[in-house]
Each structure stands twice: as structure tokens, then as C-alpha cells.
């Protein structure tokens, strides 16, 4: 997907050839420049200054940024030669990945550069909250010596609940185990056996809330996790609970947290992230039992250096046409043109599969059928895994770490290819076996000259629906009136139906309604539909 570099601008082998140009738009570590090496012309600009950025980006092959430079559609349109946007960090809020993909520009980041720093900050916040470090320090600065007021608690032999056992969650668990803590975790996408190997006991969220003396959140921010820890959950917690959120703002409901801290429902909190950032005015900052930092998880010299070096290496790989492990929108390397259109479809199938399964599969087959099997379709297996894990782990998922994530969670993955495809020119199916032996499947294809994406099968039911940003699937016993009931409830909730498909195995048997809608369906509306049609399964998928 990268734009071809003219022959005279390829990586330098003689002094007469022009060097590819790399624009560094923000201050990066000297190690970043060293990692790029001598084969590039290095330029600098102030990326935060649009008047300086737009002309500077016009004739460069790659740009390296941190968080202050916006690489949006306007900047991409001005960059006539651009092949790579490299974000020296994890977050990509300042890079328009969709516009870059449409322009054929690779986007890379440094997904693991900050995991140690983030884990250490979570532990620091936990210790600071447990020992009242922030208010005790403030008291001393005010000339007050209040030892008795700030008596704290030990971590030793206490129970800590880790919400989200991804890479950062695992690092936190390891560090807190060394403190002599008992570690439990909630993560439906981790196999119990895998957790047990780490000395962690998997529990449901209610159990974690009831048993935890300390709690640390390490989840990605998705429609399903926003507000996951709210008033209802905090009411189930111990009054001695110390809660830490150094993952994403909004996962913990800040208003509910304030009430719980103010009333003594829980003891203390350590916060590094907030629903709206930058955040300098929050009621939480008024409380002595809150220690807060301004999103410092990745703010260490080591993390910044790791990020710079990692993206410098990715730029070298990309501009030489090699596989780029940390590409977030393309795999890099040589992919057959007939295979490329199936990559985003397969990623979406992976995300739909995860939503349908509601847990990690013990085994997953990525089945590819049809003409494209004449080519190497290994990238579709990687795309499927990238989609499967994108919404359930805190880490950035790439084509290289996706298989590792599957292995860590005990998922056996198999790529199955078959040249024959009776009903479609090409067909991609994800078929997984869950812990209870049940199976989940979803299939998709590309149709017409425009290669439009379609979902054509869900759990054995034939459908034909576009995988838009917001989807929903309702399984129920086939009987009259159910489609009207679903439509009526959605209408009352002001959710507009863009497309609907009804499928059944036989008259009076099991039926499935597949919907594409214009906006996310609220949780209470899903619950109302589930009760009204006595659904055996209700699943919503948000692909935005």
C-alpha cells in the first residue's frame, strides 16, 4: 500500500543518488536519529505550526511525529511523496489513519514502547494513594506535621484485582505479586489456564469488586468498556478499596467515583487519565483521598527513547519495501493486489467474531476460499487476529503481535484454504470453538466491481448486510411479530435502521435478525429488545 519511491530516490547505495527525505516534526531523542542511520536526508520543522508544517511536508518520504503534530487529511493532501507517517508513541489521535490509508500512506507507531512505564506508574499511584503521599506532601509544604492523620495501609497480603490482563495488566500483576499481594483478574478474553500460569486467579467483575482491597484498570476504551466501573459497581466494593486507573479515561465513571470517594464508599483513588483531556478542573482534584497525574503513563525518558528508535526502524523497513511489524493500517512487504481488498474486510470479521463470541476462542480457523487462494493469503490470517484482539486488549495490535496475543490466551489458530467457493467468487470465514464446545462463525465477501464488503453468514444463518460502523444481531425462536417489535423499540430509542436481514433455519425454528444502524444502540435498549423477543443471544458491534 505504500507509494512507490522513484528509482532515483530509493535507499542510497552511491553518492550520486538522492536520499529519501525524513521530516522530524517534533523533538525526538538523539537515538532516533542514530537509528535512522546515514541513508536519509533529515529535515526538521515545528509540526505544531501549521504554516510551517504544510510546506515542509510537501516533498518528504516520511514524517516522524509525537502528539503535537496533526497529520490530517489536509497535511496528507499536501504531502505528494509521503510513504510513511511514524508516531513515536502509542496513541494515534493526532493521525488520520483512515485518510492515510486512502492515500496509500503507511502509519506506524511504537505499541510496546511505554508498557513498562505505564505499569510502573500504576504501581506508583497505588502506593501513593495507599500512603496518602499527595496530601501529606501538601501538608508539609504548608508547614504542617501531621503523621497521625496520614496513616496508610500496606499492600502486603492484600488482594489486588486487575481489570484487563493485557501486557500492561500482566506487568502490573507481576510487580504487585512481588509485593506479596494476592492477584485476581477480570478478563473474559484470557483463558483461565493462561492466567493460572502467571499465578493469577480469573474471576468475574462482581467477584473482583467484592474481594479486592486494591484495583487497577488496564482495558482499552471501547463502547463496551466506557462507564464499566460506575455507581453500581462501586457500591459492591469494599469501603477500604483503593482504585487506580492509568489506562483510559471514561472507563471509570468520574461522577460516580467522586460520590463514592466523598461518601466513604471506597477509600482512595489514583488517576492518570480522564474522560476529557487535558483536564485541569475536576471535583476529584478537591479530594484528599485522590492522587492524580496528567496522563504521565508514557512520560519517561526510556519510553520516549524506545518509541523514537522503534519508529525509526519502521521507517527504514517501510522505505526499503520490507515487512513493517508495527504498521497499523497495512502489513507492509509484498501483498498481491487481489488479496489487498480483503484485508480490511477480514479485520472487521475479526471484530464481529469477538463481539459474537463474547470470550476468547480456544481454537480459531481462518478459512479462505476462492480465486485469491492462488496467492499467499497469510496476511488474511494476521488481519483476522488483528481484528479479533483489537477491541479486547489494551495494547496496540499489529500484524506481528496478534499471533503472540493468540498464543498468550491459549487460542490455537489455523489458516485453511480451498480453491473451490460454490456461492461466492471469494469467501472469508472465521470459525471458532469456545470453552464450552460451542462454535461461532462469521463470513464475508467482496462483491461487484467496487469490491463492496458484505457479511454473508453469521453462526450458520445466511445474511447479506454491509458491515457498517454499528451492527446488531438478535437470535430468537421464530414466531410472528418479532421484527416489528425490534423495529418499534429501536424507533422509540431514536436508533435508525440502515439495513435489516432476517434469516431462519426453518419455519418456527431459530431465527436471526442482523441489523446495521446509524448510531450505537444503548445498553438499556438492547436489554429491552432481549426481554421483548425472549432472545437467546443479543450482540452489538461498533466498528467505528
Catalytic residues: 248, 277, 295
Tell me if residue 479 falls in helix, strand or coil: coil
| Distance (Å, whole) CA 511 – CA 35 | 57
> How many whole angstroms from its chain centre is CA 483?
33
| Distance (Å, whole) CA 345 – CA 456 | 12
Tell me if residue 295 falls in helix, strand or coil: coil
One-character DSSP codes across 102-154: HTT-EEE--TTTTHHHHHHHHHHHHHHHHTTHHHHHHHHHTT---TTTT----
| Distance (Å, whole) CA 404 – CA 385 | 10
Torsion-angle region of 507 (φ positive above 0: left; ψ -120 to 50: alpha; else: beta): beta
Helix (H) or strand (E) segment spanning residue 21: strand 21-24
Work out the angle between the directed axes of helices 301-319 and 115-130 (0-180°, nearest 10): 160
Exposure of 178 by Cβ count < 10 A (0-12 exposed, 13-18 middle, 19+ buried)?
exposed
Scanning 241-290, the segments in alpha helix (DSSP H) are 254-263
The C-alpha cell that represents 237 in the structure block: 466494593
Sort strands 268-271 and 242-245 into parallel, antiparallel or unpaired.
Answer: parallel
Sort strands 182-186 and 201-202 into parallel, antiparallel or unpaired.
Answer: parallel
Q: Residue 333 phi/psi, 5° resolution?
A: 75, -170
Whose CA is closest to 338, among 361, 384, 371, 307? 371
Q: What angle do CA 84, 398, 415 make, to 5 degrees?
A: 125
| Distance (Å, whole) CA 304 – CA 290 | 27
Rg of the chain in Å (alpha carbons): 25
Amino acid at each position: 500500500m505504500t507509494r512507490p519511491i522513484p528509482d532515483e530516490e530509493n535507499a542510497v547505495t552511491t553518492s550520486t543518488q538522492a536520499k529519501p527525505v525524513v521530516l522530524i516534526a517534533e523533538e525526538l531523542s538523539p537515538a532516533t536519529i542514530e537509528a535512522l542511520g546515514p541513508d536519509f536526508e533529515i529535515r526538521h520543522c515545528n509540526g505544531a505550526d501549521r504554516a510551517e508544517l504544510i510546506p515542509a511536508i510537501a516533498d518528504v518520504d516520511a514524517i516522524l511525529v509525537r502528539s503535537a503534530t496533526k497529520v490530517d487529511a489536509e497535511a496528507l493532501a499536501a504531502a505528494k511523496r509521503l510513504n510513511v507517517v511514524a508516531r513515536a508513541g502509542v496513541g494515534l489521535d493526532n493521525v488520520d489513519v483512515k485518510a492515510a490509508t486512502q492515500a496509500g500512506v503507511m502509519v506506524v507507531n511504537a505499541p510496546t514502547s511505554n508498557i513498562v512505564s505505564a505499569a510502573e506508574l500504576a504501581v506508583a499511584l497505588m502506593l501513593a494513594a495507599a500512603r496518602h503521599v499527595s496530601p501529606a506532601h501538601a501538608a508539609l509544604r504548608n508547614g504542617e506535621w501531621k503523621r497521625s492523620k496520614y496513616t496508610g495501609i500496606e499492600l502486603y497480603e492484600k488482594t489486588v484485582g486487575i481489570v484487563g490482563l493485557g501486557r500492561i495488566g500482566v506487568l502490573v500483576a507481576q510487580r504487585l505479586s512481588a509485593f506479596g499481594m494476592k492477584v485476581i483478574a477480570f478478563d473474559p478474553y484470557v483463558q483461565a489456564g493462561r492466567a493460572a500460569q502467571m499465578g493469577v486467579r480469573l474471576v468475574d467483575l462482581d467477584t473482583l469488586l467484592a474481594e479486592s482491597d486494591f484495583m487497577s484498570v488496564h482495558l482499552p476504551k471501547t463502547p463496551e468498556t466506557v462507564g464499566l466501573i460506575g455507581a453500581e459497581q462501586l457500591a459492591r466494593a469494599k469501603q477500604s478499596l483503593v482504585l487506580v486507573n492509568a489506562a483510559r479515561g471514561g472507563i471509570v465513571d468520574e461522577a460516580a467515583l467522586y460520590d463514592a470517594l466523598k461518601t466513604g464508599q471506597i477509600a482512595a483513588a489514583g488517576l492518570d487519565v480522564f474522560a476529557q483531556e487535558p483536564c485541569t478542573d475536576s471535583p476529584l482534584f478537591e479530594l484528599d483521598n485522590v492522587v492524580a497525574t496528567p496522563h504521565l503513563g508514557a512520560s519517561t525518558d526510556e519510553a520516549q527513547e524506545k518509541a523514537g528508535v522503534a519508529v525509526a526502524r519502521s521507517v527504514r523497513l517501510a522505505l526499503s519495501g520490507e515487512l513493517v511489524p508495527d504498521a497499523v493500517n497495512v502489513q507492509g512487504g509484498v501483498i498481491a493486489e487481489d488479496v489487498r481488498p480483503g484485508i480490511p474486510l477480514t479485520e472487521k470479521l475479526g471484530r464481529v467474531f469477538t463481539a459474537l463470541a463474547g470470550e476468547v476462542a480456544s481454537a480459531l480457523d481462518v478459512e479462505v476460499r476462492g480465486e485469491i487462494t492462488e496467492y499467499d493469503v497469510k496476511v488474511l490470517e494476521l488481519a483476522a487476529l488483528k481484528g479479533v484482539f483489537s477491541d479486547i486488549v489494551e495494547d496496540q495490535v499489529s500484524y506481528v503481535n496478534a499471533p503472540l496475543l493468540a498464543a498468550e490466551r491459549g487460542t490455537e489458530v489455523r489458516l485453511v484454504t480451498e480453491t473451490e467457493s460454490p456461492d461466492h467468487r471469494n469467501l472469508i470465514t472465521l470459525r471458532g470453538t469456545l470453552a464450552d464446545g460451542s462454535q461461532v462463525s462469521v463470513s464475508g465477501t467482496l462483491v461487484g466491481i467496487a469490491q463492496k464488503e458484505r457479511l454473508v453468514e453469521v453462526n450458520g444463518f445466511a445474511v447479506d448486510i454491509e458491515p457498517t460502523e454499528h451492527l446488531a444481531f438478535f437470535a430468537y425462536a421464530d414466531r410472528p411479530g418479532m421484527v416489528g417489535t425490534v423495529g418499534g423499540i429501536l424507533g422509540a430509542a431514536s436508533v435508525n435502521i440502515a439495513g435489516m436481514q432476517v434469516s431462519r433455519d426453518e419455519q418456527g425454528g431459530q431465527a436471526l435478525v442482523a441489523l446495521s444502524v446509524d448510531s450505537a444502540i444503548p445498553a438499556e435498549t438492547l436489554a429491552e429488545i432481549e426481554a421483548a423477543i425472549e432472545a437467546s443471544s443479543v450482540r452489538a458491534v461498533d466498528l467505528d
